[in-house]
Structure 1
Amino acid sequence: MSKPFIIVSTADWDNPFWTNKQHIADRLAGRGHQVLYLNSLGLRKPSSNGKDIKRIIKRLSQFFSGLQQKKTNLWVWSPVVIPYQRFSFVRKLNFFIVRQYVKHFARKLGMEDYVLWTYNPLTQPLLDMREQLSVYHCVDEISAQPGMPEQIIKEQEARLVKEVDVVFATAPNLYETRKAINDSTYYSPNVAEFNHFNKALSPGTVIPAELLRMKGPKVGFIGAISGYKLDLALIESVASRNPHVHFVFIGQVGEGDPWTDADRLGKTPNIHLIGPKPYSELPGYLKGFDACLLPNVINEYTTNMFPMKFFEYLSAGKPVVMTPLPAVRDYYSYCYVAADADAFDKQLGLALNEGLLDNYEQLIMDRVAEAKKHDWESRIDTMLAVVDAHIKGAGAPEALRAASLPGAVPLPAAASPRNGKTGKTARSVGSKA
């Protein structure tokens, strides 16, 4: 049975790199649910960076355009707020205004008894409008992002977690900390649009000309090129050790972190910062890569991050060379893990030489088979089952609760032939493993 959803996002709908926010909204609308999608309210204060100024101008234009229907069952609204959320009176004013608009648009669209689904940790003031259920989808440790009012976010997020009906968390650490506040917390790792990225293995998928012009091995990264996520020093070091390898980075430099300084990367001859690419073209770029990279710095933010691109890479059958992200530890046996530049260099060499192994084709098939278990449709099936159960007042069905308890239904074994270690299993929603 269809139901309306109001989704309060931290990512704008038209961002070329879709996150879990857009994927979930898109699929809910595709299943016949009405969706009102609120673009990011803005958590950090803007900098004087040109990108932030352009974004402000764009947001003002979007705001005056009013409610925009993007597809059947899906509307987008771009709120304008005072960008100083660290001040209590500013937050109160912002959310008073947003509440009035949300109520107005809900009436206009005929939304009654909707599900309020928020990604924004400051949105406790939006609770108790007319929602029949409230959901907090906790996908990042947002307080750890650069420029954020850290203490305010932590305090307000704790209030939100306590008061919502359901919490979904995408990383084990996020799950453990939120579960301590709200017992109706479920571990729901990020997944991928398998069918889209699996096109990289299709004979009909074309490798872009700019990759074909690069002679020699090519390794790639797709996503935000930001200093708080990527280990820029490690990337520069490994690239300098492998001048015959092209390191290709697809994405916006400074996304979410306007203070990112990637000048040294741009000056390294075999590092190519080629900017964002259309979503439809990404399988072609993946097809042209010999290996994929997750060269993340390990900090409070990335310790609580489960990168969507991990399963996107596996969907393409590509070897993944990565730093030891805790949230992905249950899948270390599917990738090459290295904690420093020396080890990363060695693991990259192993990944690039997979073609010499007798079980090369089997490695590709194993990665693809694992990725196929973690697609958006199966994940949304399970999340909606949890939502429906809570709406009925019974809580999650026993089978779902049992599957969500740590250790009850193990995720893929974390024992890696490269490090011999196993990881702790967390509460899992929607895993088919």
Structure 2
Amino acid sequence: MKNVHIIVATGEWEQDQLRYRRHRLAEFLQRHPDTKEVIWLCPAPMVKGNSCTKLANGIIQWTVQDLLPQKVFRFGRYINGFYKKKLAPFLLYLREFQEKYTLQLWYTFPGFPLLAELFNWNRVIYDCSDLWASPMNGKRSIPAAVRENIIAGAEDRIIQRADVIFCTSEYLRTKIEAKAGTAGKVFTFENGVEFDLFANTSVQTENILPAGFHGTVLGFIGGIKPKLDFELIQEAARKKREWLFLFVGPDGTNDHPAFNHLLGERNVVWTGSVSPSEVPQYMNLIDIGIMPYKSSQYNQAVFPLKLFEFLAAGKSVVGMNLPSTKRYAEDSIYTYLDTDDADQFIGACEQLESCKGQEESIRKRKKLAKSKNWNEVFTEMFRLI
């Protein structure tokens, strides 16, 4: 009997032009020979026209309109009364599959928790990639505490209902096991990499770096969010004017002043959002990949997608305040820092700068990344369910 996979996602497929773990998971399931259909179920601030559409890749996208379009009203995604009626057409749509196929419900964030109880699912899986209830910027406030309670309550319901739970870090696994009350259904699967895509270093995008610049490029690629330490990078940029700091990705900071101040430095370049297919071309401009995260509870749980993507491209990497990555630290490959000190960050980058062209180091970086290919990660996860 073939499977119909329903993936509960945070937003529409091309919401910010970024490709997350959930996108790779959906595409893996879509290619699997035992799959009949993959349905991408997601909230949307505004639903234009038909809420059910077929994407170019063959995946069905079903959108559920938020309470109101403003970001502050997203809490409705976690409270039954604000989405239950909106799910009714979707549940009716699923009935045509119920007798012929196995229905697998995948949560990739703790939205719509009631959905797990409204249908007779063959399997409920929670693929947890973040500490969803914790504020990303690390700041505590009364609104943040209310939000945390709402999301934590929704997640607890999903944890109790789930048959299998996957976590991207050991920190998350420990947290979830404590809530689940059992270790038997919780497993750690770190993020992987589309190795062949990022290992192609033959093409670089043009007209991004300043004319005549031939120095060292330190780069961050991905969603630019408050979890990053903009103040530290600004201090480093002022102390190392001969370096260029390249940021590639959409601004998810909500116009954060610290990010705007950073962009005022003459050796900082931000490209804005780029197409996922173009990301490897920007990767090839970079000499050292940087993951400058703040020290926060949220970042304790993070396993960044970019670690193995940088390594697949042959780039050395410096990561900060990401304890889930510490075990990959190795000279000339990956430097891990558990600090907010700009001078230590600069020192680590200077050390990697001295070996940026070493063929043996490049080979070792690629070898590590190749062992983390997404297909192998998802194949093992699929075997467990």
TM-score (norm 1): 0.78
Matches of 2:363 and 2:194, distance apart in 1:
17
How far 1:209 sits from its partner (Å)?
A: 2.7
Structure 1 letter corresponding to 2:285? G
1:85-141 Cα offsets, whole Å, 9 max, x none, are 6579x8222331243132133245677431000122243311130310001111101
* 2:139 alignment counterpart: none
1:327-406 pair list within 5 angstroms: 327-333=324-330, 334-338=333-337, 339=339, 340-355=341-356, 360-387=358-385
Structure 1: gaps (5+ residues): 43-55, 388-433
Matches of 1:280 and 1:72, distance apart in 2:
14
1:337–1:344: 8 Å Cα contact kept in structure 2? no
Structure 2 letter corresponding to 1:260? H
1:117-136 pair list within 5 angstroms: 117-128=106-117, 129-136=119-126
Matches of 1:142 and 1:207, distance apart in 2:
35
1:119–1:139: 8 Å Cα contact kept in structure 2? yes
1:10-409 pair list within 5 angstroms: 10-14=10-14, 15-32=16-33, 33=35, 34-39=37-42, 41=43, 56=45, 59-61=46-48, 64-71=49-56, 73-82=58-67, 84=73, 86=75, 91-107=79-95, 112-128=101-117, 129-145=119-135, 149-182=147-180, 183=182, 184-200=185-201, 203=202, 205-211=203-209, 213=211, 215=213, 216-227=215-226, 229-253=227-251, 255=252, 257-258=253-254, 260-261=256-257, 262-333=259-330, 334-338=333-337, 339=339, 340-355=341-356, 360-387=358-385
Q: How many residues align?
A: 359
1:322–1:344: 8 Å Cα contact kept in structure 2? no
How far 1:233 sits from its partner (Å)?
A: 0.7
1:7–1:116: 8 Å Cα contact kept in structure 2? yes
How far 1:376 sits from its partner (Å)?
A: 1.0
Say which SS state the counterpart of residue 79 (structure 2) adopts. Answer: helix
- Note the aligned Cα RMSD (angstroms): 2.2
Structure 2 letter corresponding to 1:138? C
Say which SS state the counterpart of residue 7 (structure 2) adopts. Answer: strand
1:33-68 Cα offsets, whole Å, 9 max, x none, are 2100012x37xxxxxxxxxxxxx4xx332xx23211
Structure 1 letter corresponding to 2:192? V
TM-score (norm 2): 0.87
Change (3 A) 1:30 1:213: farther
Say which SS state the counterpart of residue 140 (structure 1) adopts. Answer: coil
Say which SS state the counterpart of residue 115 (structure 1) adopts. Answer: strand
How far 1:197 sits from its partner (Å)?
A: 0.8
Higher strand share: 2
1:113–1:130: 8 Å Cα contact kept in structure 2? no
Change (3 A) 1:123 1:60: closer
Matches of 2:304 and 2:135, distance apart in 1:
15
How far 1:336 sits from its partner (Å)?
A: 1.8
Matches of 1:72 and 1:119, distance apart in 2:
20
